[in-house]
């Protein structure tokens, strides 16, 4: 990436960080994104969708079980098979001290 493009990207990022900063202390926003993050962990949202579909229609119980099994297989393949080939560093070690990071 060229220096000019890189500096414009940093300026853009800094500008929007400043714009969004007030919302980071707004309790409903914190709750919303913390909840969304928790649901995203381990594909929980998709498991919940499968369960809700199965509860709504008993004929979908098998589909819900297959979905959960495939999600587990996908996670295993991705996390144990593919990710080790890429030595990715986390974007932040500490993060924003206002929020819990894993």
pLDDT block averages, 10 residues each, the chain of length 102: 85 93 88 88 89 96 95 90 81 68 62
Q: How far is CA 22 from CA 6, 18, 47, in A?
A: 26, 8, 33
Separation between Cα atoms, residue 99 and residue 102, nearest integer Å: 10
pLDDT of residue 24: 84
The ranges assigned to domains in the chain are 3-85
Nearest residue to 51 via CA among 42, 41, 39, 60: 60
Residue carrying the six token digits 């819900």: 64
State pTM to two decimals: 0.59
């Amino acid at each position: 990436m060229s220096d000019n493009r890189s500096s414009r990207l940093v300026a853009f990022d800094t500008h929007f960080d400043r714009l969004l900063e007030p919302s980071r202390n707004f309790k409903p926003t914190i709750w919303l994104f913390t909840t969304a993050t928790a649901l995203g962990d381990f594909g929980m949202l998709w498991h919940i969708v499968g369960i809700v579909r199965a509860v709504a229609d008993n004929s979908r119980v098998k589909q819900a079980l297959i979905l959960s099994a495939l999600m587990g297989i996908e996670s295993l393949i991705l996390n144990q098979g593919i990710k080790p080939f890429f030595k990715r560093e986390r974007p932040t070690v500490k993060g924003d001290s206002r929020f819990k990071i894993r």
